Structure 1
């Protein structure tokens, strides 16, 4: 397992490579994506004994890092087999939310999926927690973190991915938007991604 540590620039470097959000956040996401694909992965392959088989490559992230991980791996599906997102920041949007926008199509990742090429081999893991946040912008009684994730899953299904099957969704009762919640579920994710550990 290899981790990329974020710093104070994460609001500019994470996001979707195609466009920044309506507040200009994520303006360097394309640069970050190029760094991961063109520099970091080749460095790993050169300096360490890692598999060259894309079936062994999984990209995951938490929160805004989860949005970024999804965007990078989905756009570069020739390099990855599975994508994991923990409490993903799928609210990332082109314009501010307005109540009359029932479909809420301003969320950027929905267009990334809709307009992107389908890669049938990809598998997806999504985790949310019922206490990820309190916001419920459409007042439907479901917090936005869960709504946004379910809408991403719906978009993937429209693209031809199966749920369950290609998509795994885990909703943790009382789970929060924090490391302790993600740490508890991470072993389950690793087993999903790589199989049971060899003894």
Structure 2
């Protein structure tokens, strides 16, 4: 293979009991490369694995790798639906969203699906480095929330995490109630609560950002989380970039994110 490519893979999730899809970016010369690092990039609540195309990950990654700004890496965009990436119900079910009538809320064991199916599937299918130091997770909006709680709850699996305009809420909102049985469950997955109440491995690198035109709690949430992480001596950075909460914002900053995950190691 003399150029990068994107593969779409459909597989059956035994945990969710339905077919799910994953988009996989493989860099140039993948077939002759040594084992590669892996970035898992999670979409927002109304998105899907096609965020790979919506933010033009292939073109941006190709250029950064070609210019030696980042190391070659595999990028995975799994479908997590409108789930927040949490274990919300033992039985998978789709219920109408009472706030946004045009979409559904997806309940099920989505944390287990990501941790115990997606990651092993990728490691068993592709030429990956099977070590936390070369495994990263990031995401946009609700995917940023999912990336943060997955990294904080499974620190043995990831060494870098990015929350890009992450859906960090300061209280349990009405629209989120279907996901959580009670406040204990909400705090169990809330990245701010996890960081405040649990030990975070010192070598975990964290990247937060939001738009200067963002409104509401997400912008504040990044600042609060950043303060907690800094007080605990975690290598965390928090950025404010031009724009507002949208896929266009992610697309305009994807090169910065890729440079964080894939920065070249000094020889």
State TM-score, norm by structure 1.
0.73
Q: Could you say which residue in structure 1 is the equivalent of 2:125?
A: 47
Question: 2: CA distance between counterparts of 1:117 and 1:46?
Answer: 30
Q: Which residue of 196, 200, 204 corresponds with 1:122?
A: 204
Question: 1: CA distance between counterparts of 2:134 and 2:110?
Answer: 22
Q: Could you say which residue in structure 1 is the equivalent of 2:84?
A: 14
Question: 1: CA distance between counterparts of 2:154 and 2:258?
Answer: 21
1:39-93 Cα shifts (integer Å, max 9, x gaps): 1111111111111121111100111111011001111111101001111111163
CA contact (8 A) 1:14 1:28 kept: no
Give the drift of 1:127: 1.2
**SS of equivalent residue, structure 2 residue 78:** coil
Q: Could you say which residue in structure 1 is the equivalent of 2:194?
A: 112
Q: Could you say which residue in structure 2 is the equivalent of 1:150?
A: 223
State TM-score, norm by structure 2.
0.55
Higher strand share: 2
How does 1:163-178 map onto structure 2 within 5 Å? 166-173=235-242, 175-178=243-246
CA contact (8 A) 1:153 1:167 kept: yes
Give the drift of 1:195: 1.1
Question: 1: CA distance between counterparts of 2:120 and 2:143?
Answer: 21
Q: Could you say which residue in structure 2 is the equivalent of 1:188?
A: 256
Q: Which residue of 65, 78, 89 corresponds with 1:4?
A: 78
Q: Could you say which residue in structure 2 is the equivalent of 1:61?
A: 139
RMSD: 2.8
The count of residues paired between Structure 1 and Structure 2 equals 165
